[in-house]
Amino acid sequence: MQAMRIVSFLFFISLIAMPGCRSAISQKDLRLAAAGQTDYAVVKPDKPSEVDEYAVSALTNFLFLKTGAVFPVISPNETSATNKYIFVGLSAPSLKILGKEPLASLKDQEYAARSEGANIVLYGKGMHGNLYAVVDFMENTLGRRWYSGRLISEKPPHWQNGLGQPTFNVERELAVKPFSRKGGFAFKYRLPSYEWMFDFHLQSGMNMFSSKRVNPLAFSLKVMPQGCHTFFGYIPPSPKEQPETNIFGWVEKKDFFATNPEYFTLHTNGKRIVNQLCFSNHGLRKELTKNILEHIRRLKAEGQERIMLDLSAHDNPGEFCYCQECEKLKKKYQAVGGPFYDYLSELCALVKEKHPDVMLHTLAYRLSQTQKPPVMPEGVAFPDNIVIQYASVEDNGDVDWNHPINHGAYEDMLAWCKLTPHVWTWYYPFNGMLDRLVTDLRLMKKAGVEGAFVEFSGDYNGAINFTELQIYVYNKLLQDIDRDVPALVREFTDHQYGPAAAMVRDYLCEMEAAWKASSTNTSFSAGKGMSRRLTGLTPDTIRLWQESFDRMETMTADDERLHANVRRLRRGLDYRTLDEWNDFKKACPGYFADYMVVRNRLGALPPWAVAQVSDWEMKIKTADAEKPLPTPFDAMEKGMVRRFVPVRLGAGVPKNVMDPGAAFGYGAVVTLPDMPFTFGFYQNDTKTHGAKYTVNTNDFFMGAYKIYHLGEIQVTPDSIVWFSSRSWVTQLQLGERLYSPPAPDNDNRYDVHVSLKFVSPIQLTPDEIRQNNKFSLDTNDLYSVLCDQIIFVKKPVKQ
Ligand SMILES: [Zn+2]
């Protein structure tokens, strides 16, 4: 107590002695800097951790930028009773101010930031506690804001993701009022998307980082070598099928499907297939456990602490296994994931015994796999050393968990929360909207979820992009779930869009309303796909929004930053406009007259949008190019003949090329054509091959479309026509187009004809090369293959 009195007294003296003291500053205020000078030093804690060192340099860097003054950093033993200090964390001199056990009144991850006389103390509990106090001081006392960790530059030739920086006023004369605050977080574990914005996320309170991007030992609450889909990391079916070999490469045996097919899924057709694992198999359990224990041993030998190991399904749909023993375990746990849960109980018990400091992790993911929790047998507790990351990927992305369509998924999550305190979420925001995200985050908090992760989308798939606003609000809600969201939105949009902010907020509201009015169920189970969403939007609505963006551009024309932000927000709308141009033009030809206005406005495209936009352009250009059916199909009964163009999935480019001779004015490009060229039919759901065709030398020729007769197929709900045995990336999904439930007049049989053209190898543009990957075009190919139509002729029902 004596020391404190002396400090206050000296503070009083020095304030009076300070020349040029402005009258607006009260005597109690802390004068941090004047004319680029400071009397303060920043004091490190005793034994600073890497997070503490980071906190101290973040603070002094910021203070320098804000005031122009260099705040010296000293260690605790360099302090004297006569100077003024900002204490970061606990140290002998800061404890003199704080008393004996200042952390006793704080819970884990809580922090305190306050002034004591002329001094400032910033400290907290747990790994990041001191950093959180520093950030609180910068935000709430010094007025710093950090709205986005990303700064997208559209400067030609290409878009670039830069790092967004904090925003603040420079104040060469800086005095602050006395203050005292405490804070904490709404969720214990907080996971960011886009980890490359590391400083932004760390200073926004994120505390779980993957080991790939940042130094996990220093900054992540848990160290996870790999976050998901690890079955085949530990049990590779073949060397080619082992994921993340940089993490699992040490696993010695890599050909389990060749030697032990019984470790893998028994399909309903009675065959073992490489889909998932058969967890009732004791040999599999032994091998898997051995490899997991070996992984732990290796990580510890490297010096890793706070280890958390994931064991979760390969990212394939379908139940894990249909063998008799697995079926028994499904019954035992009253859940399709039963065999896996049974194994987890065994594994967790063993890990707990051998490595009580290690946590395990898995996904609750997919209705046919682990979304639904087990009902544990009487007297058996669910293991407490495993985190369940709940990922309801099959939700309808347009409505929240309160809506009847999604409520079952929320109940599954609640059931998990009843089983274990370690439930984390892996949430899909699906669209650029805010209301659903906010509602569901609050429901997570209410359910007692321990950790949260939202997989924020890229910004070109959906029609709209408010992703950065979403991330900002997400970060704030993870700290305080009751934050005033409209106020956050106001602050964010005012900063990002200046005079256009009010109109941007109107746009956001109208978008939200449109999503809510849209009656399309976009969940996977509804089977309608994600591409054409927001079906409630009329061309008139799009036109009104485009006109309001014209005004917003004018309003921000003289400020480069604001104008660029408005233009970037508009891109979502422009992408959507191009995507649906043909329909819009039909409905509203006056306004949607020349698509090049929109295309030119988009200017330089980010690499990921190049192929998509050129595909839209191609569809616009070929809108009127449809040719009649060729002979003999033109003479057949109309309803019996259907035709479609296949699709090149994934990142392969170009997806299609314009071709005046093609049935619809363009041909789909086949990824990695084989030689001789093959195509065929396959039932994904039954894993059964059907008709196959090989183009041999006597029916091969270059430069014109020729129709090849594939033969008869039987369409199932999930079946395809594929192209090239080297990849299958170019294909046509038939279920959604042709399948209907069997009936007396329908057995889903079709006769199939495929129209192909062989051309000289397609040369890629520099943009396309940048975007291409190894699964796309092989420059050594002797030809490229285009498919302009597949013709299906319905067969009469087989008697
Ligand atoms: Zn099985």
**Alpha helix ranges (H) inside 448-538:** 467-479, 485-497, 501-517
From the CB of residue 461, how many other CB atoms can be counted at a distance below 10 Å? 18
For residue 733 the two structure tokens come to 């999904």
* Nearest CA among 796, 745, 791 for reference residue 642: 791
Q: Are 17 and 9 in contact, with CB atoms under 8 Å apart? A: no
185/441 Cα distance (integer angstroms):
13
pLDDT at 194: 84
- The larger pLDDT score, comparing residue 522 to residue 414, is at 414
- 560-579 and 610-621 helices, crossing angle to 10°: 50
Average pLDDT over residues 2-26: 39
pLDDT at 37: 96
Q: What is the pLDDT of residues 574-617, one digit of tens each?
A: 988 998 899 889 988 988 999 999 999 988 777 667 777 888 88
DSSP 39: S
Contacts of 303 (CB under 8 A, 6+ apart): 217
Residue ranges per domain, the chain? Answer: 2-184, 224-371, 503-619, 633-794
The sign of the CA dihedral 334, 338, 342, 348 is negative
* Nearest CA among 613, 601, 600, 594 for reference residue 564: 601
pLDDT at 60: 98
Q: 490 by DSSP, 3-state: which?
A: helix
Distance from the alpha carbon of residue 279 to the mean position of ligand 1, in angstroms: 6
Single-letter code of the amino acid located at 105: S
With 90 as the cut, is the pLDDT of residue 398 above it? no
Distance from the alpha carbon of residue 281 to the mean position of ligand 1, in angstroms: 6
Q: How confident is the model at residue 529 (pLDDT cuts 50, 70, 90)?
A: very low
Distance from the alpha carbon of residue 322 to the mean position of ligand 1, in angstroms: 6
For residue 118 the two structure tokens come to 């002329």
Average pLDDT over residues 185-207: 94
Distance from the alpha carbon of residue 246 to the mean position of ligand 1, in angstroms: 29
45/42 Cα distance (integer angstroms):
10
2-184 maps to which CATH number? 3.30.379.10
Distance from the alpha carbon of residue 370 to the mean position of ligand 1, in angstroms: 15
Distance from the alpha carbon of residue 319 to the mean position of ligand 1, in angstroms: 10
Classify strands 641-644 and 784-794 as parallel, antiparallel or unpaired: antiparallel
Contacts of 319 (CB under 8 A, 6+ apart): 265, 276, 336, 368, 369
Q: Would you list the DSSP string of 336-350?
A: TTHHHHHHHHHHHHH
592/597 Cα distance (integer angstroms):
9
Distance from the alpha carbon of residue 340 to the mean position of ligand 1, in angstroms: 10
Contacts of 143 (CB under 8 A, 6+ apart): 168, 169
127/205 Cα distance (integer angstroms):
12
Bridge partner residues of 307 (DSSP): 223
536/529 Cα distance (integer angstroms):
16
Q: How confident is the model at residue 156 (pLDDT cuts 50, 70, 90)?
A: low
Distance from the alpha carbon of residue 326 to the mean position of ligand 1, in angstroms: 4
The sign of the CA dihedral 259, 264, 266, 272 is negative
The mean of the pLDDT values for the chain is 89
735/399 Cα distance (integer angstroms):
26
For residue 692 the two structure tokens come to 């196959």
Distance from the alpha carbon of residue 270 to the mean position of ligand 1, in angstroms: 11
Helices and strands: H and E segment counts in the chain: 24, 29
With 60 as the cut, is the pLDDT of residue 464 above it? no
358/350 Cα distance (integer angstroms):
11
With 90 as the cut, is the pLDDT of residue 66 above it? yes
For residue 728 the two structure tokens come to 């299958």
236/224 Cα distance (integer angstroms):
20
Distance from the alpha carbon of residue 338 to the mean position of ligand 1, in angstroms: 11
Q: Are 183 and 189 in contact, with CB atoms under 8 Å apart? A: no
With 70 as the cut, is the pLDDT of residue 75 above it? yes
Q: What is the pLDDT of residues 764-789, one digit of tens each?
A: 777 666 655 544 555 567 899 999 99
With 80 as the cut, is the pLDDT of residue 3 above it? no
Distance from the alpha carbon of residue 267 to the mean position of ligand 1, in angstroms: 9
Per mean pLDDT, which range of 151-165, 321-335, 545-559, 646-660 is the poorest? 151-165
pLDDT at 196: 83
* Nearest CA among 657, 618, 650 for reference residue 760: 657
Single-letter code of the amino acid located at 600: N
Distance from the alpha carbon of residue 354 to the mean position of ligand 1, in angstroms: 27
193/198 Cα distance (integer angstroms):
10
Number of Cα atoms under 13 Å in the Cβ half of residue 531: 5
Q: What is the pLDDT of residues 655-678, one digit of tens each?
A: 888 899 999 999 999 988 999 999
- The larger pLDDT score, comparing residue 763 to residue 1, is at 763
Distance from the alpha carbon of residue 332 to the mean position of ligand 1, in angstroms: 14
End-to-end CA distance of the chain: 99
With 90 as the cut, is the pLDDT of residue 432 above it? no
**Alpha helix ranges (H) inside 588-624:** 595-602, 610-621
- 129-136 and 50-67 helices, crossing angle to 10°: 10
| Burial class, 356, CB count within 10 angstroms (exposed 0-12 / middle 13-18 / buried 19+) | exposed
Which single residue is written with the structure tokens 């996971």?
A: 191
Contacts of 54 (CB under 8 A, 6+ apart): 131, 202, 218, 219
pLDDT at 647: 86
Distance from the alpha carbon of residue 334 to the mean position of ligand 1, in angstroms: 16
Q: 708 by DSSP, 3-state: which?
A: strand
With 50 as the cut, is the pLDDT of residue 461 above it? no
With 70 as the cut, is the pLDDT of residue 313 above it? yes
119 — phi, psi (to 5°)? Answer: -95, 165
Distance from the alpha carbon of residue 665 to the mean position of ligand 1, in angstroms: 49
Q: What is the pLDDT of residues 692-743, one digit of tens each?
A: 999 998 899 899 999 999 999 999 988 999 999 988 889 999 987 899 889 9
Distance from the alpha carbon of residue 276 to the mean position of ligand 1, in angstroms: 10
Q: What is the pLDDT of residues 197-228, one digit of tens each?
A: 899 999 999 999 986 656 656 799 999 999 99
Distance from the alpha carbon of residue 329 to the mean position of ligand 1, in angstroms: 9
pLDDT at 596: 95
Q: Are 707 and 740 in contact, with CB atoms under 8 Å apart? A: no
Distance from the alpha carbon of residue 362 to the mean position of ligand 1, in angstroms: 19
Burial per residue of 289-300, b for 16 or more beta-carbon CB atoms within 10 angstroms, e otherwise: bebbbebbeebe
Distance from the alpha carbon of residue 597 to the mean position of ligand 1, in angstroms: 58
Q: 423 by DSSP, 3-state: which?
A: strand
- 610-621 and 595-602 helices, crossing angle to 10°: 170
Distance from the alpha carbon of residue 363 to the mean position of ligand 1, in angstroms: 19
* Nearest CA among 674, 767, 762, 686 for reference residue 722: 674
Distance from the alpha carbon of residue 339 to the mean position of ligand 1, in angstroms: 8
Identify the helix (H) or strand (E) that includes residue 404: helix 404-419
With 50 as the cut, is the pLDDT of residue 487 above it? yes
Integer-rounded Cα Rg, in Å, for the chain is 31
Q: What is the pLDDT of residues 271-310, one digit of tens each?
A: 999 999 999 999 999 999 999 999 999 999 999 999 999 9
pLDDT at 524: 54
Which single residue is written with the structure tokens 């009487």?
A: 378
Single-letter code of the amino acid located at 585: K
With 50 as the cut, is the pLDDT of residue 546 above it? yes
Distance from the alpha carbon of residue 383 to the mean position of ligand 1, in angstroms: 22
For residue 348 the two structure tokens come to 């967790």
Distance from the alpha carbon of residue 157 to the mean position of ligand 1, in angstroms: 53
